[in-house]
Structure 1
Amino acid sequence: MKLIDLLHRWTGGIVGLLLAMLGLTGALLVHKDAWVMLPHAHDALVQDTTHLAMVTQRVMADSAVQPQALTYASQSFGLLRAAYGDGGGAYLDQNGAIVAQWQSQWERPEIWLFDLHHHLFSGDAGETVIGIVALCGLFFVISGVLLWWRTRKTFAFRLMPARMNRPAIVRHHRDLGIVIAPLLLLSLVTGAVLVFRPMAALLLGPGAPATIDASLKAPPPREAQLADTLNWAAMIRTARARFPDAELRSISLPRKDNGLITLRMRSPEEWLPNGRTTLWFAADTGALVAARDAATLPSSVKGYNLLYPLHAAKVGGLPFRIVMTLSGLALAMLGTLAVWTFWFKKPKAARAQVRRVDI
């Protein structure tokens, strides 16, 4: 138990601030659709096929300002988002008119906050670090429960430490941690599995990672360049004819020269915000190449697709968003106070002893 205590304190002192940052940014991002205050941001969702086909043709057909990807409005956010290859972007109303533009992510707080939370502004390398920090957080929760068990008879729930001295902060850390532990486990497990897909085997069975990779794999690349003129409206109509009940979520240009335009839809039974119902079109002709129905995916893949909606509180409405906000704020407090007490808030007796030695 002493070794667990030592590892818990030292690891917390080292990565506590990163966990605090993840908790705070996560709590803010849970409510992102509500605090992005722009005209038409809270307009009612329009999913009429003819209207969507017209807007998509208008936005995507202009090669001079063609976005790399276009994300459609949703039930909680009434604007379309265009993303350009140079890092710029724009919000558009549901008629395709530009509401706001930016040349860099630093001009939009919701975008750089998302990048910080998911990638530490460092792309794939930062995402890997985030996954490692999430694993450290899991160790804290498990070891913290073991350490709390020894002192369970002194449990007293407080939102804040009774006093800002080290013993009171440590007791508050221990007792608040045990209360919030189930929510922290939910946040940290889902976050870690989303970064390190092989960990899905722990939740969904030993064959799950391979099944997920195979099921979510795109069709083979095609030797096709993006045509200057394409019938984007026809792609929308084709998608709706194939999946009439699905909500249109995004359309994106070919990536890594794979010669495929990707269109994602969200079926009514899907929790994932952008869905896994996907169609691929040839970049040179606009012809349908392949389609994937999320309803036919294996159960392990469907289970994997539930992780992000749970992690980001995209289900359950406002009550679950509040619950996950509390989880994020508690993680921010626990991480910050852990670092402070470990590195700066030394016991008075220890400081006095240091002074006597110095004399």
Structure 2
Amino acid sequence: MPRADADAASPGLGRRLRAALSWLHLWAGLSVGTLFALVSLSGTVLVFHSDLLRLRHPQLAQHAPVADAAVLAGLVERWAPQGLRSLDLPQAELPVWQGYFEDGSRALFAPEDGALLLYRTTRDDALLWLRDLHTRLLGGETGEGILGLAGWCALGLLATGLYLWWPKRGRLLAQLKLHAGPPVRRWLTWHRSSGVLLLPLLLLATLTGVGMIYSAGFRAALTSAFGGSPVPAPAQAQGGDAIAWPEVLARAERGLPAARLSRVSVPKAGSGAVNFRVRAEGEWHPVGRSQVAIAADGRGVLQVYDATRNGLGSRASDAIYPLHIGAVGGPAMKWITALAGLLPSFLLVTGFLFWRRRRGHR
């Protein structure tokens, strides 16, 4: 039954429910909404992470994106003892090696000789600091847990806001109208109309953000509903410490037709397998969820996983991250995602101004 009909059938209950939800929406918006706005603003900046990184360090773009096996071998030998756990191969967007370390720091290396070009940590790099704020509230697993709860509250805010806005029959256009004055009416109409018109963007950004925090649960639910199999664990094999990097890299490039090698995991001592992340044709994820594993001596392929051939539920789960960061749909989608990050701040400000003006009238 539509809300208007339900309220008409029981006006007392409808008024009490509306008053309770209005109170909840107000105070949750002024409290949790502040955190939601802060995190969303950081997300707007992070949409352009790679662009800003190249702008701040233009020397990073002055290289040819060549993945040389000898350079890779040197990087692993030099930096693995320092906690290097994986490396992004040079690509057109960022034509250098990008190393990820166990402590969360990153380093960028020249593709020609492996020389260190830039070392980044959350203490001295604003973009990494914002990323830590956006994903973990600067608080590790505890911060991530708080952020997850805030995400559910944000979804509740969107749901209650939609309920409170929902018009009676024949009042849709009137309910969407923006008013210039008086101030109480202006801030109310700007708040509710912008929230409703841009609700799909807000829902997409919020739901995918929550989905990333609870990725295991979301994946299990999606695969249960729509099919799919688990992502295979990294391959393991017996072997020595020596890795035939030229043969390994060459065989990995042929491991999955029409795919692009994106990231290599640094093998542990004595491992007989080298695991790669690859982006198969048609994948949205910028790194790819597909995998190729090669024997350390370069003589055999141990594992090939093509994420595009998995079930619909698995593919939907893989789409959560690229949808959240605006990696789907080209530059237009990137700017739309950035806009979505600004909306919670706009709703927070207009909601606060409405509350303050209304309170002043009482």
State if a TM-score over 0.5 links the two structures.
yes
Counterpart of 2:196 in structure 1 is 178
Counterpart Cα distance in 1 of 2:299 and 2:266: 11
Residues paired across the two proteins, number: 335
User: Structure 1 76/219 Cα, relative in aligned 2: closer, same or farther at 3 Å?
Assistant: closer
Q: Is the 8 A contact 1:27 1:326 kept in 2?
A: yes
Give the AA of the match of 1:111.
Answer: L
Q: Is the 8 A contact 1:281 1:288 kept in 2?
A: yes
Counterpart of 2:230 in structure 1 is 215
**Is 1:143 matched with 2:160?**
yes
Deviates more, 1:246-255 or 1:272-281: 246-255
Q: CA deviation at 1:320?
A: 0.8
Counterpart of 2:70 in structure 1 is 54
Q: Is the 8 A contact 1:246 1:267 kept in 2?
A: yes
* Structure 1 residues 133-176: Cα deviation after superposition (integer angstroms, max 9, x where no partner): 22222222222122112485243348xxx589555333321111
Identity %: 25
SS of the residue aligned with 1:268?
A: coil
Counterpart Cα distance in 1 of 2:276 and 2:264: 4
* 2:277 aligned to which of 264, 267, 270: 264
User: Structure 1 195/64 Cα, relative in aligned 2: closer, same or farther at 3 Å?
Assistant: closer
Ranked by relative contact order (alpha carbons within 8 Å, sequence separation 6 or more), the top structure is: 1
SS of the residue aligned with 1:68?
A: strand
| Two-structure CA RMSD over aligned residues (Å) | 3.3
Counterpart of 1:130 in structure 2 is 147
Structure 2 gap ranges (5+): 1-17
* 1:276 aligned to which of 268, 283, 289: 289
Deviates more, 1:174-183 or 1:57-66: 57-66
Q: CA deviation at 1:284?
A: 9.9
SS of the residue aligned with 1:334?
A: helix
User: Structure 1 283/113 Cα, relative in aligned 2: closer, same or farther at 3 Å?
Assistant: farther
User: Structure 1 175/250 Cα, relative in aligned 2: closer, same or farther at 3 Å?
Assistant: same
* Structure 1 residues 305-354: Cα deviation after superposition (integer angstroms, max 9, x where no partner): 11211110112111111111111111222235546766x7772244xxxx
* Structure 1 residues 240-286: Cα deviation after superposition (integer angstroms, max 9, x where no partner): 1212422111112358x998643111112111111112123567999
Structure 1 gap ranges (5+): 351-359
User: Structure 1 59/205 Cα, relative in aligned 2: closer, same or farther at 3 Å?
Assistant: closer
Counterpart Cα distance in 1 of 2:107 and 2:20: 52
Q: Is the 8 A contact 2:277 2:289 kept in 1?
A: yes
* 1:100 aligned to which of 94, 99, 118: 118
User: Structure 1 157/307 Cα, relative in aligned 2: closer, same or farther at 3 Å?
Assistant: farther
Counterpart Cα distance in 1 of 2:63 and 2:187: 47
Counterpart Cα distance in 2 of 1:183 and 1:94: 39
Counterpart Cα distance in 2 of 1:225 and 1:137: 50
Q: CA deviation at 1:43?
A: 5.1
Counterpart of 1:304 in structure 2 is 317
SS of the residue aligned with 1:76?
A: coil
Counterpart Cα distance in 1 of 2:187 and 2:225: 44
Counterpart of 1:39 in structure 2 is 58
User: Structure 1 220/41 Cα, relative in aligned 2: closer, same or farther at 3 Å?
Assistant: closer
Q: Is the 8 A contact 1:16 1:338 kept in 2?
A: no
* Structure 1 residues 49-99: Cα deviation after superposition (integer angstroms, max 9, x where no partner): xx4323322322335567222112334333321123344332123323322
Counterpart of 2:359 in structure 1 is 347
Counterpart of 2:176 in structure 1 is 155
